Amino acid sequence: MIASEPSADEASIVGRDRVRHVMQGVLRAANRDWTDEALEAASGIKARAIKAYRVEGKEMPLSAALSLAVVLGARALNPLLATIGYVARPLDEAEQLHPMQIVADSLRHFSTIASAASDGRIDHTEQPSCQEAADMIIATVLPLSSAGKAA
């Protein structure tokens, strides 16, 4: 195989690296409110594995990613589901849009991208945080879109 040709795994719609990157960001954000041990107790995923996912960016099985996201709630589940163009909504929750909250949440993520691009480019060190911000923007505004209504 020629090195520049993607493997079948790299060419998939949702690659392992994408899930790993999204969940690493989710776990880093959750680390403010959750200890690894508390997440272990709630999700069944070992604390040392959670730390490896969060700190080292270790690849995690999709079952672990979903287990952790469900425990952490919509702010974790939606970025994960946004990798496939969906957004989570609890079955018993009435469908209600809160436009001002959507705008406020989106602006925070746009700020990340704007800060990185302030010098006219986004370099390799800024790209992961910009990608995470873009995923969060998509997850945040998806309920307003025609795609979000279909979900």
- Reported as a single tens digit per residue, the pLDDT across 97-121 is 677 778 888 888 999 999 999 999 9
- The whole-model pTM stands at 0.56
Calculate the alpha carbon distances from 92 to 33, 88, 95, 96, 144 in Å: 26, 12, 9, 12, 20
pLDDT for 89 equals 65
Q: Do residues 18 and 82 make contact, with C-beta atoms less than 8 angstroms apart?
A: no
Measure the CA–CA gap between 72 and 78, rounded to whole angstroms: 10
pLDDT for 10 equals 52
pLDDT for 7 equals 44
pLDDT for 2 equals 44
pLDDT for 20 equals 87
Mean pLDDT, 10 residues at a time, the chain of 151 residues? 45 73 89 92 95 92 91 86 74 64 86 93 92 87 69 42
Q: Do residues 26 and 69 make contact, with C-beta atoms less than 8 angstroms apart?
A: yes
